[in-house]
Amino acid sequence: MQLYNKLSAKERAELIKKAAEKRLTLSFYKYAKIGNPQLLRDHLFLTWNAHHVLGRIYVAKEGINAQLSLPSNRFNAFKNHLDTIAFLKDIRLNIAIEQDNMSFLKLKIKVRDKIVADGLEDASFDVTNKGIHVNAEKFNTLIEDENTVLVDMRNHYESEIGHFKNAITPNVDTFRGSLDIIENDLKAHKEDKKLVMYCTGGIRCEKASAYFKHKGFKNVYQLEGGIIEYAREVKEKELENKFLGKNFVFDDRRAEKISDHIIANCHQCGNPCDTHVNCANAACHLLFIQCEACKKEMDNCCSTNCKDVITLPYEEQKELRKGQGNSNDIFKKGRADHLPYKKDLRNIFETLKKQ
């Protein structure tokens, strides 16, 4: 019985090319109380592997978070299988705005302590006691209300390339890092402001909405289905699109264009650009924004040092990496000191503080 992926990304890519099938990229999540996450994990792997599903899925006692792709002609069978699982029946599936057959190249289903790491150890916090979900039309109305505080629940490198107009974009590296900051800076408005949140697909702001209700906020809202669903509804219902730029996604596409606005800059030259890349030096692998001109000049690298490294023979590069572990820059997501045009987003909540 095969319970784990056995093919490399390269081998899988070749199979996808040979199959010549159109694949569908989608995501979904559900907070629920799962008694035996490992049992569910194994059941999902056996079933989804047979349907050629690829992706990154986390299962925990608090629910499931799935980002995946599958052959389009298997979609109905996949949906039918979800409907056999009680807490996933009729679940909303967020279909990607921009499709790419190579968005995922492995099937990874992992059991985690939580489907969204939050650093919380409060046993009285009920993640299912969530805020009010609003669709794109209601969201557009809410964020124009002067009594609304709109907060982006994503990380700095996500909001840098795209966010809703007038949104507060916390300068954080992780979701857990944003919770205390937001609560502290908005504590004076727990009763007089409408707290409206959004994220990529809804999973982070759903947990956040429950958390802020737990902390005493009276009027808590979240964008149903996140930016992905918002973009679909705006197009379908011909609504005004209030999102500026791209939506960062956690697969090989890296982003989906939601509007034509380019609100970010190349981290190396400062010219308008919103394309995330990873440094070509495997010992660095830093995620940063790089324009085509700098990509050509720097050989896909983030620094001259990395550019020098990738010119060395492969075996020599391996020797240099021995015993070094990952560079800390991998986790900085564009914060490295040698990137002169990284946008500094430290001035969060300044408008509210002046009130």
Q: Which residues are catalytic?
A: 199
Own/partner contacts of 90-95, CB < 8 Å, gap of 24 or more, are 91/28, 91/30, 92/28, 92/225, 92/229, 93/26, 93/27, 93/28, 94/26, 94/27, 94/28, 94/201, 94/202, 94/225, 94/226, 94/228, 94/229, 95/24, 95/25, 95/26, 95/228, 95/232
> How distant, in Å, are the alpha carbons of 104, 173, 269, 349 from that of 142?
35, 27, 38, 19
Q: Where are the alpha helices (DSSP H) in 238-301?
A: 292-297
The token duo for 91 is 């679940």
Contact by Cβ (8 Å): 105, 13: yes
Name residue 27's amino acid. Answer: S
Burial classification of residue 351, based on how many CB atoms lie within 10 Å of its CB (0-12 exposed, 13-18 middle, 19 or more buried) = exposed
The answer for residues whose C-beta is within 8 angstroms of residue 343's C-beta and 6 or more apart is: 160, 264, 265
E strand map for the chain: 23-31, 54-60, 63-71, 94-95, 107-111, 132-134, 148-152, 162-164, 194-198, 220-223, 243-248, 255-257, 276-278, 287-289
